[in-house]
Structure 1
Amino acid sequence: MTPAATLGTVLLAYLPAAVSPGPNFVLIAHTAAAGTRRAAVAVALGVIAAGGVLAAVAVFGLGGVLARAPWLAAVLRVVCGGYLAWLGVRLWLRAREPEAAAPPQAANDSFAAPEVPNESFATSEKAARLETPNPFRQGVVSNLTNPKAAAFFGSVLTAALPPTEPTAVKAAAVALILLTSTAWHLSVALLFSAPATQRWYARAKPTLNRVVGTILVVLGVILAVTP
């Protein structure tokens, strides 16, 4: 394939995986709703940074192994295609299930310092900073421990991006993933800060899940049967 076609394949493989509901989406959306916009943006940046690391490791590390073992590349292609199809079917089956949500008070406690008397404000503020989870770190940990991210970067990406591609194309693929991830995750952080968006998503969730699920099934089948 031409470099443009290869990058297009990478984008088509990554976009549905990025926008499909998962731990990263839930964390960013919940932070935007229960915390602050600044915290949600920090979580999104953590998810983006971790995704860039995973993409680079997959493209420049695992790709070399696959180049020396073509049979492994074929196995990964079938496995990751099946995974995408399974994820798509799962989205269809769970389209109308409500999202799990943490209690509002508990969520607010994760981002807000407790009220304290004025005379001990400085000491309590310092303690609150130490106890409050770091939003950026939360995003990094969420993506690094996300099974969906591990499956995509460990198999889907390496299958969509042959190890024989030039280094420049691989670097462009990583950059494309970073740009797409930045656009999507920051959009989630900003949009879910608005109550109107929360109400719209609650109504549109079944349709959105079915559309994304269909894309994943079709993409998975194509990836599994195309050499």
Structure 2
Amino acid sequence: MNPAATLGTVLLAYLPAAVSPGPNFVLIAHTAAAGTRRAAVAVALGVVAAGGVLAAVAVFGLGGVLARLPWLAAALRVVCGGYLAWLGVRLWLRARTPEAPDGAADRGAGETAPARAGKAAPPDRGPHHFRQGVLSNLTNPKAAAFFGSVLTATLPPTEPTAVKATAVALILLTSAAWHLSVALLFSAPATQRWYAHAEPTLNRVVGTILVVLGVALAVTP
């Protein structure tokens, strides 16, 4: 297979994995609707950066380390699952926090739902949100399945280094285009106004999803 066909196969394999809803989508959309565009973009960039690391690890064969050390893979799975569950519990606790007085929904995209409700965490801490995005993707079982099996199957180790590097760059660009689009869409003022009214219920729904995903990741071999 020539390089162009190989890269096309990689892209066709990655697109469904990127756009299908999962923990990354949930976290970016929730941050965008509840917070600021800047915070959501930071989360999205963290997701993209982690995806690049996972792609490079898979493409250049470093994933063999985990294959040779199953105890390390299991430990990472438990830690990552615990982190997702912790995020979910935090959202449930946030849903129990009393809301701010009326008028909060009329504020623009520059102000956040956490700030409106008087919550402690500043929404625009770029490094904090970037780390959230990184950890979300590193703990994402869908990402692990894709990079650990599908990508390695569509990009054999016999491919030249230049093709492998181009594949990683292609994944990064595709991931950035999709996840940044989600951040921009859900941080629109209209979306934030709607979210201001539905925040407690949505926090519980999103929190439950994250807890279930975290527990499933931690206990599934």
Q: Structure 1 residues 9 and 103 mapped into 2: Cα distance closer, same or farther (>3 Å)?
A: same
Q: Structure 1 residues 42 and 113 mapped into 2: Cα distance closer, same or farther (>3 Å)?
A: farther
Of all paired residues, the percent bearing the same amino acid is 83
1:174 to 168, 173, 184: 168
Structure 1 unaligned blocks of 5 or more: 66-99, 116-126, 200-227
- What is the CA–CA distance in structure 1 between the aligned matches of 2:116 and 2:130, rounded to whole Å? 16
- What is the CA–CA distance in structure 2 between the aligned matches of 1:12 and 1:160, rounded to whole Å? 10
Give 1:139 shift: 0.2
Give 1:192 shift: 1.2
Which secondary structure does the structure 2 equivalent of 1:134 belong to?
helix
Structure 2 unaligned blocks of 5 or more: 66-90, 99-111, 195-221
Q: Structure 1 residues 142 and 60 mapped into 2: Cα distance closer, same or farther (>3 Å)?
A: same
For 2:128, the aligned partner's letter is: N
Equivalent pair of 1:62/1:158 in contact (CA under 8 Å)? no
2:34 counterpart residue number: 34
1:1-227 equivalence runs, <5 A: 1-62=1-62, 103=95, 108-109=113-114, 114=118, 134-194=128-188
- What is the CA–CA distance in structure 1 between the aligned matches of 2:49 and 2:27, rounded to whole Å? 15
Instruction: Please give the TM-score of this superposition, normalised by the length of structure 2.
Output: 0.60
Q: Structure 1 residues 104 and 4 mapped into 2: Cα distance closer, same or farther (>3 Å)?
A: farther
CA RMSD, 1 decimal: 3.3
For 1:108, the aligned partner's letter is: A
- Give the number of equivalent residue pairs: 152
- What is the CA–CA distance in structure 2 between the aligned matches of 1:177 and 1:193, rounded to whole Å? 24
Equivalent pair of 1:63/1:158 in contact (CA under 8 Å)? no
Larger CA Rg, structure 1 vs 2: 1
Q: Structure 1 residues 63 and 160 mapped into 2: Cα distance closer, same or farther (>3 Å)?
A: farther
For residues 147-181 of structure 1, give each alpha carbon's deviation from its aligned partner in whole angstroms, at most 9, with x where no partner exists.
00111111110001011100000000000000000
- What is the CA–CA distance in structure 1 between the aligned matches of 2:95 and 2:64, rounded to whole Å? 46
Which secondary structure does the structure 1 equivalent of 2:60 belong to?
helix
Instruction: Please give the TM-score of this superposition, normalised by the length of structure 1.
Output: 0.59
